[in-house]
Amino acid sequence: MSELGNSTPDDFGVEPDAEPSVATAPGIDLDAIQRDLEGVQAALERLNEGTYWTDEVTGDTIPSEVLDAFPLTRTVASNAAH
């Protein structure tokens, strides 16, 4: 068993000349990552426009506690998706 500082790619089951591939890596959901990125971009746009704290469905203020817990929240309306 090698120490972390002296490990080689082969120690982790990776071929030394293998090209890394995010698309084929187990456990990576690229669609979920894309949705998260889009949510962050939308939140940044709302911050720039000054509407970050405004519910997109009702027009009411989104409580800070909600945004602290879920910063990408766009609405707290019970029948709408976040």
Flag whether 63 is in a domain: yes
**Average pLDDT, 10 consecutive residues per value, the chain (82 residues):** 54 62 74 95 96 96 96 83 46
Our count of domains for the chain comes to 1
Flag whether 61 is in a domain: yes
Nearest to 62 by CA among 45, 49, 51, 76: 76
Q: Which domain holds residue 68?
A: 51-82
Q: Residue 2: its pLDDT value, please?
A: 46
Flag whether 38 is in a domain: no
